[in-house]
Structure 1
Amino acid sequence: MVPRPTFRSYYGEPVINPPRWEPLNIAGYLFLGGLAGASSVIAGGAELTGRPVLAKVGKVAALAAIGGSAAALVKDLGRPARFANMLRTVKPTSPMSVGSWILATYGPLAGAAAASAVTGWFPRLGRAATAGAALTGPAVAAYTGVLLADTAVPAWHEAHRQLPFTFIGSAAAAAGGLGMLLAPVAEAGPARRAALFGAVVETVSSGAAERGMGIVAETYRQGRAGTLLRAAKALTVAGALGGALFGGRSRTAAALSGAALVAGSVCTRFGIFEAGLASARDPKYTVVPQRERLARRSGGG
């Protein structure tokens, strides 16, 4: 019997170049962009159903979050001109190019909606901007998942089918949680439902991703990423259930549940980011899945 071979790279170095992004900048960009997009959707629905305070909370939160997201991205890029350069062309096959145009479209709409809500000026223009931001918000929440999955980083690429859904669910949970935290209980019904929906989507999609990625799933369960993602799951489930069961009756319960949901979404984004870094550093997470795919093809052929 010949022992099963194990993989070693030259000098134990990574097979791919690990991302050199700053975790605070890029993971913060991922979280804030998702929060912004989902907040615009909740704001649009609240305006249509006559919930002015929830609508205003969503609009202002969307502007603040997209501003913070853009600032974090530009800080990591080094200078604003690099973001502007991405708008010189349109490349439909590039998630970064498409995402840049999504942000460039969404940002002014979110700004106009929030400005009208705060000042009361140009209400018709504000309603139109609110509708536009609500329509583009889901793309803002989802495209960063596509962006990460399109890289060669094993923990992100192996989850390419589920990662956008995880990001959408996390964004909905965060925006719903913020609405529960800041809006009156009487108006926060859509926020509670969005939070519950987001928690279910995030939990189901992240579980499916871990079951389908083989050895790479270790990076989601170990180390800093594992700690963050376990905290994310506990906070998200507790916040969603607390909001659904008690958030409609108690302002305190709504606020605590909302804060837990926002914190859970932060942990999700930072945990996924850390899992990607860990998978890129260890060569086995690059090579073992490749060998398994080759083995399946040769066995089927």
Structure 2
Amino acid sequence: MTHSDFDEVRPPEPPRRRRWRKNAPQRRPGSGGREELMVPEAEFVSYYGRPIVKPPPWEWPVAAYLFLGGVAGGSGLLAAGAQLTGRKTLRRNTRLAALGAVGLGAVALVIDLGKPERFINMMRVFKVTSPMSMGSWILSAYSGGIGIAAAAEVDRLLGERLPLGPLRKVLHLVEGPAGLGGAVFAAPLAVYTAVLLSDTAVPTWNGAHRDLPFVFVCSASLASGGLAMVTTPTSETGPARVFAVAGVMGDLAAVKYMESRMDPTLVEPLHHGTAGKLLEWSERLAVVGGLGALLGGRHRPVAIASGLSLLTASAFTRFGVFEAGLESTKDPKYVVEPQKRRLAARRAAGITGDSITTGPDA
């Protein structure tokens, strides 16, 4: 037996145990064909007990950023609609909400990165194939547009007391184009985080890559509509109520459709543990908030309660999906079982000549 320097740091291996089947025939001299199997049945274990897929080093600030990005994106779209339809109060409140959400989201992102300059370093390249690179540019472009529009609203709210001087006329002249320009990046801001998650090797996130963007868009819609219902008088929240109800219906349908197209094993983390509880309550709160917005949204107390319910539902959706992905990295079966089913499907389709499927008996 050879020995190397690496053996000194190798984790100790557990003692091997031979598994014997009950009532198995006993070995007799000269009866080699009746010997008991020496190799145990395959189990879902990994090298030295470590996960097959390394979990991402993300914590709660990333989940908060997922939620706040959706609120900011949806609020930017509502602000553009209010600007085009002449709803001044709704326009002001949604612009301020968008700026507040994107600002808090940027803080959460910096907390996760550890240093503010790391976000600046992400702007050194523009790579279309990288969701992280594209997301950084989308966030920056959106923040610039909505920031100018919100600054004009703050100036009006303070009675034009900001020390802007001759820049005031320029600010109010460009606020309209800036608000519409920010709306161009609003939907990408709400959805790119879903692409970012599903582009990883995390089993449940990757398994939902086809439909997770639709879930996040609908979640952003109901969240931003709910926030507008909380902050704005009911006389101007008609578009917000429609936005919220449409988001609820889309969210419920998108989640069910996403799960129906995922591998059954990868759906499990969405229904168990912390993630399962969050997503279960998200569905309940979305239904309650949607019904409140549809049936009682013209009454201020009902509108506030419904809006808070929708906001909480959206937050639970983002945190639930986030937790489900992290949970799916802990058990090797979430990697092995889908791989075996994909391999069987390729063989059944007659694909046997590539590097993945080398033959029916491989």
Could you say which TM-score interval applies, normalised by the shorter chain?
over 0.9
**Alpha-carbon offset, residue 6 of structure 1:** 4.5
Alignment of 1:93 with 2:129, yes or no, is yes
Give matches, 1:1-301, under 5 Å: 6-23=43-60, 25-120=61-156, 121=168, 122-213=171-262, 214-248=264-298, 250-301=299-350
CA deviation profile, 1:141-197 (whole Å, cap 9, x unmatched) = 010010001000011100001111111100010000001111111100000011011
CA deviation profile, 1:40-78 (whole Å, cap 9, x unmatched) = 100110111111111111000000000011111111011
Distance in 2 separating the partners of 1:257 and 1:282: 38
Distance in 2 separating the partners of 1:231 and 1:178: 19
**Alpha-carbon offset, residue 108 of structure 1:** 1.1
Amino acid aligned to 1:48 = L
Distance in 2 separating the partners of 1:51 and 1:204: 31
Distance in 1 separating the partners of 2:116 and 2:83: 34
Distance in 2 separating the partners of 1:212 and 1:176: 28
**Alpha-carbon offset, residue 126 of structure 1:** 1.1
Amino acid aligned to 1:126 = E
Amino acid aligned to 1:45 = G
- Work out whether residues 279 and 317 of structure 2, in 8 Å CA contact, stay in contact via their aligned partners in 1: yes
RMSD: 1.5
Distance in 2 separating the partners of 1:208 and 1:17: 28
- Work out whether residues 13 and 283 of structure 1, in 8 Å CA contact, stay in contact via their aligned partners in 2: no
Q: TM-score, normalised by structure 2?
A: 0.80
Distance in 2 separating the partners of 1:227 and 1:275: 11
CA deviation profile, 1:241-270 (whole Å, cap 9, x unmatched) = 11011102x111101000000000110110
SS at match of 1:281: coil
Amino acid aligned to 1:117 = E
Structure ranking higher on relative contact order (CA contacts 8 Å, 6+ apart) = 1
- Work out whether residues 192 and 244 of structure 1, in 8 Å CA contact, stay in contact via their aligned partners in 2: yes
- Work out whether residues 216 and 279 of structure 1, in 8 Å CA contact, stay in contact via their aligned partners in 2: yes
Amino acid aligned to 2:311 = V
Amino acid aligned to 1:265 = S
Distance in 1 separating the partners of 2:106 and 2:213: 19
Amino acid aligned to 1:15 = I
SS at match of 1:86: helix
In structure 1, the gaps of 5 or more residues are none
The farther-off stretch of 8-17 and 175-184 is: 8-17
Distance in 2 separating the partners of 1:110 and 1:200: 28
Q: TM-score, normalised by structure 1?
A: 0.96
Q: Which runs of 4+ in 1 moved over 6 A?
A: none
The farther-off stretch of 63-72 and 122-131 is: 122-131
Number of positions where the alignment pairs a residue of Structure 1 with one of Structure 2: 298
- Work out whether residues 222 and 248 of structure 2, in 8 Å CA contact, stay in contact via their aligned partners in 1: yes
- Work out whether residues 38 and 175 of structure 1, in 8 Å CA contact, stay in contact via their aligned partners in 2: yes
Distance in 2 separating the partners of 1:137 and 1:260: 23
- Identical positions, percent: 48
SS at match of 1:16: coil
Distance in 1 separating the partners of 2:247 and 2:148: 26
Distance in 2 separating the partners of 1:11 and 1:215: 23
**Alpha-carbon offset, residue 5 of structure 1:** 5.1
Amino acid aligned to 1:206 = V
SS at match of 2:129: coil
- Work out whether residues 142 and 183 of structure 2, in 8 Å CA contact, stay in contact via their aligned partners in 1: no
Distance in 2 separating the partners of 1:56 and 1:125: 15
More helix by share: 1
